[in-house]
Amino acid sequence: MSELRHSLDSVLLETHVLQDTDPDLDRLLVDGFAVVGESWGAELRLDSVAQVDEAVDALRERVAAAEQAGLAVRELHPADAAAIAALDAASWADVPSTPATTHSPTTEAEARAWAGRGRRGFGAFDGDRLVGLCVGAGGDNDFIVVAATHRGRGLGAAVVAAWMLAAIEAGERAFTVGGAAENVRSLALVRSVGFRVTERWLSLQRP
How many angstroms separate the CA atoms of 66 and 124, rounded? 8
Which of 17, 3, 25, 206 lies closest to 104 in space, CA to CA? Answer: 3
Among positions 125, 143, 195, 201, the unique one binding ligand COA when judged by CB under 6 A: 143
91 contributes a contact to ligand COA by CB under 6 A: yes
Which CB atom, from 82 or from 188, has the smaller least distance to ligand COA?
188
Please state the closest distance from residue 69 (CB atom) to ligand COA, in A.
11
Among positions 28, 59, 73, 95, the unique one binding ligand COA when judged by CB under 6 A: 95
What is the sign, positive or negative, of the torsion defined by CA atoms of 92, 64, 114, 184? positive
Cα angle 144-141-121, degrees, rounded to a multiple of 5: 65
129 contributes a contact to ligand COA by CB under 6 A: no
**In Å, how far are 30, 49, 90, 173 from 77, measured between CA atoms?**
50, 31, 20, 24
Which CB atom, from 30 or from 117, has the smaller least distance to ligand COA?
117
Interface segment toward ligand COA; rule CB under 6 A; list 11-19, 33-41, 80-88, 141-149: 141-149
Read off φ and ψ for residue 55, nearest 5 degrees: -65, -45
Among positions 10, 15, 183, 205, the unique one binding ligand COA when judged by CB under 6 A: 183
Which CB atom, from 15 or from 186, has the smaller least distance to ligand COA?
186
Helix, strand, coil share (%) of the chain residues, nearest 5: 40, 30, 30
Please state the closest distance from residue 89 (CB atom) to ligand COA, in A.
12
Please state the closest distance from residue 103 (CB atom) to ligand COA, in A.
7
Which of 126, 142, 120 lies closest to 186 in space, CA to CA? Answer: 142
162 contributes a contact to ligand COA by CB under 6 A: no
Interface positions with ligand COA (CB under 6 A): 91, 95, 143-146, 151-157, 179, 183-186, 188-189, 192
